[in-house]
Structure 1
């Protein structure tokens, strides 16, 4: 498996007839794919599949979150024999700015259509747990709820202790939105404050609380990681990459990258396809084609040596 990088991505196995046996995702492709021949652990039901694998194909993704979405989209389109579930187990989630009631607040939603303003919807994200942890982390350092002038009792006392009032509202909201838009300075500011909260909790021997904050940090990292496989605003397009007479094609429909094919194609014939690829997708497409070429060459060498 030396041709595979230890990077996030999606892989699939084919049999001698070229049929797809299985599609999976990985945090580290080389380690994950190699594990099918060394230690299946909780995947023993796949032990009968492994002898049928004759070819490995893979795509490197820009984040584990992107790999999760790509795997889900591929499996919703077609479920190979050895995959147990069509689609995925994680639930698609959105975060939304709710501006009703006078004080904006960040809420979890199950669709992109509940906002008064289109720019107030963020996502989709995979995994309700991750989304709720990220929401908790953002609320910990950007407590919009404490900027309400109508607070009473314990909530008002807590706002006073934390030094928060209505004058902080616009700044908290702007940073929340900027972080969810993946603006680096805002993301770093949120992470730094959460790290300080975590370290203070740990120094005070509140280890369970420190662990919860660490989970919030990781959830925010998950949400703000680059993710192109499912983006509700993306137009329909075809993405092509070419390397060494191998053309790789990805189809994007309805904001979802859900088709991945590859075939032999001469460079002269590939040119008209490559011209269709949107500029923002070119690095992904070129990288995918180069990896596909390496894996094809590795497969051919193994066939000839066998």
Structure 2
């Protein structure tokens, strides 16, 4: 791969990144991770590397070696901050040395096996049966929130050594920040209730504490203790900030894998989030195309293959849907692990949040792997083979006609290039022959006018699709042959109900038919195939475009008045006249002076207006 192609490939990857927080991983030609970074906006941040927006000296060395850039979407910037550190620890990338240190983030540990549990800050999460909450990168806010909790929930704060050697309550008890279980009789049930309150707050359920502080703030304000009220207000702000920065809660060091799918037609991506100690430790994604089986079968096969490769099987696996073979699959995973394995489909809570995050990553990987051009390439190859085209079509145009009982007959043409609408190629046509509905002649006129322009600009489509049947195709071929242009043309018949009315959209239950030149029988398109869905999309786009044009033409005719044909009376004067008089009938009854004044025109033009409008009694006859 040349240098230009390498950079172009990376820029195309980055252009499909979401404008969401997350982590990006840069890889070299050996697929080794050489740099990891975090971002509030993945697309904008990574773009700066290739636009000269990052002036660090090391960036030049990174850009020489990077060949691929992957991304992992996170819920917020804080999650990205934590995941960045974990991935750096895992991969030890060459250019992240400056980010490495031995200091871990803070976690809150609660030993529920203790007689009188307390909240303690630790930097290492261990598999010791305790509850862990974190990690928290914002230590000031964490310590402040714990201080606020102590003012509302009187749990003990001393170490075990101090607790077991006290003979009388300490100062914390005197200022009502501890219930004194070291020396005094305390109801264990009441203490457990206080502990549960503290746990709810750490889980992000700060509403009860916010309400309590709010009551204190209002009371202080009523008593004119404004400094105290301000302190309560600041504590409420800290609680709210703390809640928004909460990371996923780790309950007793739980480990789980989270599977999610994203699918469009026969293209699928699978995302697997690895969660260890309650936080996302990594993400893997897999892509599949031309998939003809359902999501359940995809998921079952993916689970088998994922863990057959020797990966660690966690005690819990989160899935997006129920599986028919769940029991058999669970038993096999338990046999491989040697311990119990749970397969869960969450509907709410932390596991549901993790599932949504995995789905977001699956969608992002889908957009990265299956860009529009790559997907369309397969569609175009199918069309070329199915319609016996001379070449794979890149530019496809579709013609449609619309009329109302033979009046306001119009045509329209839409253009697609590499599977995407080419707006500059859209055209609208007023049909020259009006009076009776004749779709055949109208199609011929539109095709002739389109191909005449193509002769001038050499802008010839690879495939022209006519919305209609064999008759419309025949007229389109006549126009082509009269001009001597070698353009491929087919006709696609709209699916019809029993009453013969056309039905638009991909939800039609009957198959679509395509008529080819020289073929007796039309080709029946299979529902759900990529090329069928694409042709329906093109046809529906042409239909909507021509209908919109027809409504505008018809609307202009309905609202057209005799004033439109009077020289010197433009849109602004017409607007003033209608604002003043409201209707043509009232204008006819006005004097020359009134018309001249309202329309801001000379009397000679006002006389001409009244002359064209006719006498009032004449208009009524």
Structure 2 CA distance, aligned partners of 1:31 and 1:198?
42
Residues 77 and 112 (structure 1 numbering): CA distance in 2 closer, same or farther, change over 3 Å? closer
1:159 aligns with 2:176: yes
Aligned match of 2:318: 278
Residues 155 and 227 (structure 1 numbering): CA distance in 2 closer, same or farther, change over 3 Å? closer
Name the SS of the counterpart of 1:105 in structure 2.
coil
Structure 2 CA distance, aligned partners of 1:124 and 1:196?
29
If the length of structure 2 is used for normalisation, what is the TM-score? 0.37
Residues 35 and 142 (structure 1 numbering): CA distance in 2 closer, same or farther, change over 3 Å? farther
2:149 corresponds, among 135, 138, 148, to 138
1:296 aligns with 2:369: yes
Written as runs of structure 1 = structure 2, the 5 A alignment for 1:5-154 is: 5-15=18-28, 18-36=31-49, 37=51, 39-40=53-54, 43-50=56-63, 53=66, 55-84=68-97, 91-97=104-110, 104-112=117-125, 118=129, 121-127=131-137, 129=139, 131-144=142-155, 151=169
Contact 1:198 1:211 in 2 (8 A): no
Higher relative contact order (CA 8 A, sep 6+): 1
CA positional deviation for 1:232 = 1.6
Contact 2:260 2:358 in 1 (8 A): yes
CA positional deviation for 1:252 = 5.2
CA positional deviation for 1:90 = 5.4
Contact 2:127 2:253 in 1 (8 A): no
Structure 1 CA distance, aligned partners of 2:126 and 2:25?
34
Aligned match of 2:283: 260
Structure 1 CA distance, aligned partners of 2:171 and 2:234?
29
Structure 1 CA distance, aligned partners of 2:104 and 2:237?
22
Deviation by residue 1:101-149 (Cα, 9 ceiling, x = unmatched): 986532213445698xx4x522241437254343223224434359xxx
Name the SS of the counterpart of 2:70 in structure 1.
strand
Residues 27 and 112 (structure 1 numbering): CA distance in 2 closer, same or farther, change over 3 Å? same
Aligned match of 1:304: none
Contact 1:16 1:54 in 2 (8 A): yes
Structure 2 CA distance, aligned partners of 1:66 and 1:210?
27
Aligned match of 1:232: 253
Residues 95 and 101 (structure 1 numbering): CA distance in 2 closer, same or farther, change over 3 Å? same
Contact 1:197 1:213 in 2 (8 A): no
Aligned match of 1:175: 197
Structure 2 CA distance, aligned partners of 1:47 and 1:212?
46
Contact 1:91 1:126 in 2 (8 A): no
Contact 2:36 2:88 in 1 (8 A): yes
Structure 1 residues without counterparts, runs of 5 or longer: 161-165, 302-306
Structure 2 CA distance, aligned partners of 1:77 and 1:188?
37
Contact 1:13 1:53 in 2 (8 A): yes
Residues 219 and 122 (structure 1 numbering): CA distance in 2 closer, same or farther, change over 3 Å? same
Deviation by residue 1:253-303 (Cα, 9 ceiling, x = unmatched): 6777544344443435954444566224543333212101212356978xx
Structure 1 CA distance, aligned partners of 2:112 and 2:303?
43
Structure 2 residues without counterparts, runs of 5 or longer: 1-13, 158-167, 178-185, 305-316, 320-350, 375-621
Contact 1:14 1:22 in 2 (8 A): yes
Deviation by residue 1:145-167 (Cα, 9 ceiling, x = unmatched): 59xxx6577963x439xxxxx79
Structure 1 CA distance, aligned partners of 2:231 and 2:57?
34
Residues 255 and 105 (structure 1 numbering): CA distance in 2 closer, same or farther, change over 3 Å? closer
Structure 1 CA distance, aligned partners of 2:114 and 2:259?
44
How many residue pairs match? The answer is 285
Alpha-carbon RMSD: 4.9
Structure 1 CA distance, aligned partners of 2:255 and 2:46?
31
Structure 1 CA distance, aligned partners of 2:125 and 2:33?
33
Contact 1:112 1:121 in 2 (8 A): no
Residues 180 and 94 (structure 1 numbering): CA distance in 2 closer, same or farther, change over 3 Å? same
Structure 1 CA distance, aligned partners of 2:364 and 2:127?
41
Deviation by residue 1:51-110 (Cα, 9 ceiling, x = unmatched): 655543222222434333332332222122222257666514332346899865322134
Structure 2 CA distance, aligned partners of 1:123 and 1:194?
23
